[in-house]
Amino acid sequence: MSAPAANIQLHHSWRQTWPDHANHFTAFDGQVKFAHIHEHHMSGWAWYMVLDLPWSNRPSAAPLTGHCETAREAAQAAEACYAAVLAGTWRGMSEKDQQAARERRENKDGIHRSAAL
């Protein structure tokens, strides 16, 4: 990353996932949970999406996971992935997925809000 991790600005709410897991965090867009980051047992931080998308054909040609040196870098990568998925620009999205993302933006419906949230 070009900027030091301390200078990374995050755009969503990140909360500790469980009280007894100091190095595991969940990202929220309002009430919608969309990602987790956690300290990897070998080194660095892992990030992954936990999206409940309104279309069934989820992106698959590009990973919805990754690994970064710091927690802030992992959070930034997860936020960038989330923004790209919602915009319909994440590599590997099918035309059907892109169209669904465009319709979601036009209708301003957001992603499906699971009753479990």
20-34 tens-digit pLDDT: 999 999 999 888 888
Domain annotation covers residue 42: yes
Segment 34-46, tens digit of pLDDT? 899 999 988 999 9
Phi, psi of 5 (to 5 degrees): -55, -35
Residue 8 has pLDDT above 80, yes or no: yes
Domain annotation covers residue 51: yes
Domain annotation covers residue 100: yes
Strand-by-strand arrangement of the 21-29 sheet: 13-18, 21-29, 32-39, 45-49, 65-68
Which domain range does residue 68 map to?
Answer: 8-107
Averaged pLDDT for residues 69-92: 89
Total structural domains within the chain: 1
Domain annotation covers residue 57: yes
Residue 114 has pLDDT above 50, yes or no: no
Averaged pLDDT for residues 91-102: 74
**Is 42 within 8 Å of 14 (Cβ atoms)?**
no
Domain annotation covers residue 62: yes
Domain annotation covers residue 1: no
Among candidate residues 28, 13, 75, the one with its CA nearest the CA of residue 47: 75
DSSP state of 111: S
Instruction: State the chain's mean pLDDT as an integer.
Output: 78
Domain annotation covers residue 117: no
Domain annotation covers residue 43: yes
Q: What is the pLDDT of residue 52?
A: 63
